[in-house]
Amino acid sequence: MCLCAARDQEFPPDVTDDWFRWPAARTAWQLMAKARASGRALDFADLMVNPDTFPVAADAPEILAMFPRVQDAVRGLRAYVDTDWIADQYQRTLKALQNNPDPRDVMQQLATALDHRLAGQQEGRLITAHEAALALFADIERRVNGQRDKVIGYGWPSWDALTLGMEPGQLILVAARPGIGKTLVGQNLTRLWVRQRIPVLYLSFEMSAERLMARWLAMESGVNSLTIARGKPSDQELSDITHAMGYVAEWPIQVWADSITQDECLSVIRRAARQHGVRVVVIDYAGLIRLTPQYRGENKTQMVGRLAEALKRVAGEAQVPVISLVQLKRAADERDDGIPRLKDLRDSGDWEANADVVWMLAPHTDTDITVVLAKNRDGEANIQLSLRWKKTTNLLWDGSPSATVPVVQDD
Q: Are strands 357-361 and 383-390 parallel, antiparallel or unpaired?
A: unpaired
Burial class (CB in 10 A: 0-12, 13-18, 19+), 252: middle
Is residue 387 within 8 A of residue 399, CB to CB? The reply is yes
Of 359, 363, 386, nearest to 373 by C-alpha is 359
Res 276: pLDDT: 92
Q: Report the C-alpha gap between 310 and 261 in whole angstroms.
A: 12
Global pTM?
Answer: 0.67
DSSP tag of 329: P
Q: Is the dihedral of CA 30, 76, 119, 286 positive or negative?
A: negative
- Under 8 Å between Cβ of 393 and 224: yes
**CA 146 – CA 154 distance, rounded (Å):** 17
What whole-number distance in Å separates Cα of residue 204 and Cα of residue 183? 9
One-letter amino acid at 43 equals: D
Q: Are 346 and 329 in contact (CB under 8 A)?
A: yes
Measured distance CA(403)–CA(398) in Å, rounded: 6
pLDDT of residue 379: 86
pLDDT digit string (tens) for the chain, length 411 residues: 444 444 444 445 556 656 555 566 666 667 767 766 776 655 544 554 455 555 444 444 555 555 555 555 545 444 444 455 565 666 666 667 666 656 666 666 666 666 665 555 444 556 777 777 777 767 667 666 665 567 899 999 999 999 989 999 999 999 999 988 999 999 999 999 999 999 999 999 989 999 999 999 999 999 998 898 888 889 999 999 999 999 899 999 999 999 999 989 999 999 999 889 999 999 998 999 999 887 778 888 889 999 999 999 999 989 999 999 999 988 777 777 778 889 888 776 789 999 999 999 988 778 889 999 999 998 889 999 999 999 899 999 998 654 444 444 343
Whether residue 357 contacts residue 170, with contact meaning beta carbons closer than 8 Å, is answered with: yes
What is the structure's pLDDT at 104?
Answer: 65
**Burial tier of 17 (Cβ tally within 10 Å: 0-12, 13-18, 19+):** exposed
**Gap between the Cα atoms of 326 and 190, Å rounded:** 17
AA letter at 220? E
